[in-house]
Structure 1
Amino acid sequence: MSDLFGEVDEEMRREQLKKLWDKYSIYFIVLMVLIVAGVAGWRGYQYLESKKAAEAGAAFEKAVELSEQDKHADAEKAFTELAAKAPSGYRTLARLRAAGEAASRDSKAAAKMYDDIAADRSVGGEWQDLAKLRAAGLMLDSASYADMQQRLEASAAPKSTFRHSAREMLALSAWRNNDMTAARKWLDAISEDNETPPGLRSRAEALQALLPPVAKS
């Protein structure tokens, strides 16, 4: 008798499953199709991105070769074209290199290109700071200390990645603009920072030795 009831229960379960399948099978099939299509689309996207990255890498290397051959105009053009169409990883690098190549023909134009990168929040904080530093380096001989201070003071903060170079540029700018108080401030910041690179520390000490003595009160 128990076998009979078991067979009846089994038949009822089969009937219920059949009804569920008849009712919901279309949704299941659609879901499976969407999953397969999604996986295929993702794989296709990954392939295309990988292909773009490989092409951008090859174009970047060719532009670097032009630069190494002192073909700066051609290199600048190649980097500029790459910056317009490359994936994001290469885009910022190409913009920085294009500005570097432009410096050989027009330092003001190159500084403007660096300034544009520094103002572009999409490139990320450290890239922006690097661009600020490069622009300031090109303007060091001509800009006022106030201008350099505006450009670099934030980058000279204690936790900034490029604080050492920023402080050195600010000290040099202050020195060249006869602001010895500001020069001493930045040279002291360099000497008091335990993480200052040895070469930069030596240059700072040499410049510090040229400063006039502090007036005694």
Structure 2
Amino acid sequence: MSELFNEVDEELRRERLRKLWDKYSIFIVGAAVLIVVGVGTWRGYEYYESKKAAEAGAAFAAAADLAEQNKHAEAEAAFDKIAASAPAGYRTLARLRAAAEIAARDPQAAGKRYDEISADRSLAAPFRDLASIRSAGLVLETASYNDLVQRLEPVASGDGAFRHTARELLALSAWRAKNVTATRQWIDKINADAETPGSLRSRADVLQALLPPTAAKS
């Protein structure tokens, strides 16, 4: 008798499963198809992005070779092409390198390129800070101290990796402008930062030695 009940239960389960399948099979099959398509699409995207990155890396290396051969115009064009079409990381690096190539023929134009990069809020802060440093370095001999402050104070006042260089450039600019007070302030910031590189600290000591005696006292 128990075997008969078991067979009936089994038949009822099969019947319920058949009804569920008839009712929901289209959704189950559709979900399975979506999963397969989704995985395939993601794999295709990964392959595409990997291929783009490899191509961009090769193009970047080729452009860098042109720069090493002092073919600045060709290197500039190559970096500009990468900046227009490569993945995000390579685009930013290419923009910085293109500006460096321009500096070989037109420092003023290169400074404008660097300024565009430093003003681009879509970029990570280290890239913007580096662009500010490069721009300030190009105009250090010609720009006013106030101009350098406008360019570099946000970098010098932060805790980024380029703050040390920004402070040194500001100290040099203040010294060129015969602004002893400002020179001393930036030297003090350099010396007060425990992470200031030793070589930069030594240069700050040399600059401080050039200040008038009253300003050089501790």
1:60 corresponding residue in structure 2: 60
Q: Partner of 1:122: helix, strand, or coil?
A: coil
- Counterparts of 2:81 and 2:158 in 1: how far apart (Å)? 37
2:185 corresponding residue in structure 1: 185
Superposition map of 1:41-120 within 5 A: 41-120=41-120
Q: TM-score, structure 1 length as denominator?
A: 0.97
- Counterparts of 1:32 and 1:117 in 2: how far apart (Å)? 46
What letter matches 2:195 in structure 1?
E
Q: Deviations over 1:103-147 (max 9, x none)?
A: 001111001001111111111111111111111111111111101
Q: TM-score, structure 2 length as denominator?
A: 0.96
1:207 corresponding residue in structure 2: 207
Q: Deviations over 1:77-100 (max 9, x none)?
A: 100111000011100000000000
What letter matches 2:81 in structure 1?
E
| Alignment length (residue pairs) | 216
Q: Partner of 1:14: helix, strand, or coil?
A: helix
- Counterparts of 1:120 and 1:76 in 2: how far apart (Å)? 20
What letter matches 2:178 in structure 1?
N
Indicate the RMSD between aligned Cα atoms, in angstroms.
1.2
Return structure 1 stretches of 4+ with deviation > 4 angstroms: none
- Give the drift of 1:158: 5.0
- Counterparts of 1:214 and 1:148 in 2: how far apart (Å)? 25
Q: Partner of 2:214: helix, strand, or coil?
A: coil
Percentage of matched positions with identical amino acids: 64
- Counterparts of 1:115 and 1:159 in 2: how far apart (Å)? 21
- Counterparts of 1:3 and 1:105 in 2: how far apart (Å)? 95
- Counterparts of 2:29 and 2:52 in 1: how far apart (Å)? 34
- Counterparts of 2:158 and 2:60 in 1: how far apart (Å)? 34
Structure 1: segments with no counterpart, 5+ residues: none
Q: Partner of 1:160: helix, strand, or coil?
A: coil
Structure 2: segments with no counterpart, 5+ residues: none
2:24 corresponding residue in structure 1: 24
- Counterparts of 2:191 and 2:119 in 1: how far apart (Å)? 31
2:5 corresponding residue in structure 1: 5
